[in-house]
């Protein structure tokens, strides 16, 4: 298969900083869309994979799965995109497309294993897939997403992971009018959870460990903001929430948030703490509460989320960085020093 040399940034080992690296992108097949990447969000998952904190990283690895850019070429069988369109690629670039989960539009749970945007086996070129810390990407039309023209492209890029990760559980568990929804944590995921839940019509309560985030939580749309170290404030919300979306990726007391749920309420974990979290059985049994997990979203749901954002003018709060600032951004993420998502301006790589 013919390939095109492409500039990228890669980690060569778990301990090396990311740096310039040349990769090959395939020439578009009849069903492919080629995208000149304008912006790529920086997800905490990028850091985990680059440093092999979850295991299984194949080096060199080019992270990045919040990809937004301009279509440059399309294959002969492509019908939904043309050169010049804004388009996006999220966390997946393929799946088996035939299993029960794929047929239901839940490609992230593909029984044959989804092909993720980076660090997955590349069925076209061999080796592993490379992500959005690069000049361009080529993806099948079936895994390419339309971007509403009214959204700021830089602020829309993180919707492809931070957005869909919080949208999916809010949709599945019915956030909306008459529902009281808690969002735990105000970071890249949490700030989108607050925005979405408010736009869906729910009563939104944000729970944060930081008193300094109270006003920001209200600005983003929370009706109430609770500092979780305030035992009295937590107690006032006991047994009152229909849904809690937990976005925290640090170790934390899960039981304390389960106690916020009413009968048959559900707490959904979307953050990934580094260690197993302890849950008392009675936290679930006595009030018949549910503890669940959620992983990004399928392609139809991701498109639905982008369209909703276009209709309601919703996007992420971002800090634009150059490509050569990504290692500093990783260190700042570890210190929670970002409001609320770093986005790489890919013009800095191409210049």
Report helix angle 162-172 to 190-199, nearest 10. 40
Whole-number pLDDT of residue 310: 98
pTM, 2 dp: 0.96
C-alpha dist (Å) from residue 208 to 45, 160, 164, 174: 21, 24, 21, 23
Contact in structure between 180 and 202 (CB atoms under 8 Å): yes
Spatial CB neighbours of 73, under 8 Å, sequence gap ≥ 6: 28, 33, 34, 83
Which residues in the chain belong to E strands, given as ranges? 3-10, 19-26, 32-42, 67-74, 86-89, 92-94, 115-116, 136-140, 145-146, 180-184, 203-208, 224-227, 241-246, 261-269, 290-293, 318-321, 341-345
For residue 317, is pLDDT > 80?
Answer: yes
> What mean pLDDT do residues 270-292 have?
94
Model confidence pLDDT, tens digit, residues 138-177: 999 999 999 999 999 999 999 999 999 999 999 999 999 9
Four-CA torsion 120, 331, 18, 55, nearest 10 degrees: -30
Q: Name the pLDDT band for 274 (thresholds 50, 70, 90).
A: confident
Give the chain's largest Cα–Cα span.
64
Model confidence pLDDT, tens digit, residues 218-231: 999 999 999 999 99
> What mean pLDDT do residues 287-296 have?
97
Structure letter (DSSP) for residue 158: G
> What mean pLDDT do residues 17-32 have?
98
> What mean pLDDT do residues 277-289 have?
95
Rounded CA separation 173/15 (Å): 40
Rounded CA separation 114/116 (Å): 6
Whole-number pLDDT of residue 72: 98
No. of H helices and E strands in the chain?
A: 12, 17
C-alpha dist (Å) from residue 84 to 19, 33, 38, 144: 30, 11, 12, 14
For residue 175, how many other CB atoms are within 10 A of its CB? 27
Looking at every residue in the chain, the average pLDDT score rounds to: 97
Structure letter (DSSP) for residue 61: B
User: Percent of the chain at pLDDT above 70?
Assistant: 100
Domains in the chain (CATH in brackets) are: 3-161+316-350 (3.90.180.10), 163-293 (3.40.50.720)
- Angle subtended at Cα 120 by Cα 115 and Cα 124, rounded to the nearest 5 degrees: 75
Model confidence pLDDT, tens digit, residues 328-351: 999 999 998 999 999 999 999 987
Each residue of 102-129: b (16+ CB within 10 Å) or e? beeebbbbbeeebbbbbbbebebeeebb
Rounded CA separation 129/139 (Å): 11
Whole-number pLDDT of residue 137: 98
Spatial CB neighbours of 275, under 8 Å, sequence gap ≥ 6: 251
Tokens describing residue 347: 């013009």
């Amino acid at each position: 298969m013919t390939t095109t040399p492409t500039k990228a940034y890669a980690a060569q080992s778990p301990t090396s900083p990311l740096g310039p690296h040349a990769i090959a992108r395939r020439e578009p097949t009849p069903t492919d869309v080629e995208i000149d990447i304008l912006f790529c969000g920086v997800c905490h998952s990028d850091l985990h994979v680059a440093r092999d904190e979850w295991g299984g990283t194949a080096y060199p690895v080019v992270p990045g799965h919040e990809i937004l850019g301009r279509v440059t070429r399309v294959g002969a069988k492509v019908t939904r995109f043309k050169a010049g369109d804004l388009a996006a690629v999220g966390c997946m670039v393929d799946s088996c497309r035939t299993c029960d989960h794929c047929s239901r539009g839940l490609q992230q749970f593909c029984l044959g294993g989804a092909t993720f945007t980076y660090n997955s086996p590349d069925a076209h070129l061999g080796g592993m897939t490379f992500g959005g810390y690069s000049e361009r990407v080529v993806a099948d039309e079936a895994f390419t997403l339309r971007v509403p023209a009214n959204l700021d492209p830089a602020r829309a890029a993180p919707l492809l992971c931070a957005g869909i990760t919080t949208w999916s559980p809010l949709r599945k568990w019915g956030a909306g009018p008459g529902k009281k929804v808690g969002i735990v944590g105000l970071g890249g995921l949490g700030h989108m959870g607050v925005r979405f839940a408010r736009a869906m019509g729910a009563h939104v309560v944000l729970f944060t460990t930081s008193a300094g985030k109270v006003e920001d939580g209200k600005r983003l749309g929370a009706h109430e903001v609770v500092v979780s170290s305030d035992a009295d404030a937590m107690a006032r919300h006991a047994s009152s929430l229909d849904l809690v979306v937990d976005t925290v990726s640090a170790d934390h007391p899960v039981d304390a948030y389960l106690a916020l749920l009413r009968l048959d309420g559900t707490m959904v974990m979307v953050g990934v703490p580094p260690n197993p979290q302890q849950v008392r059985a009675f936290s679930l049994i006595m009030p018949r509460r549910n503890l669940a997990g959620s992983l990004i979203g399928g392609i139809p749901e991701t498109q639905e989320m982008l369209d909703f954002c276009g209709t309601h003018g919703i996007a992420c709060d971002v800090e634009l960085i150059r490509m050569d600032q990504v290692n500093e951004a990783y260190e700042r993420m570890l210190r929670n020093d970002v409001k609320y998502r770093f986005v790489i301006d890919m013009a800095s790589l191409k210049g």
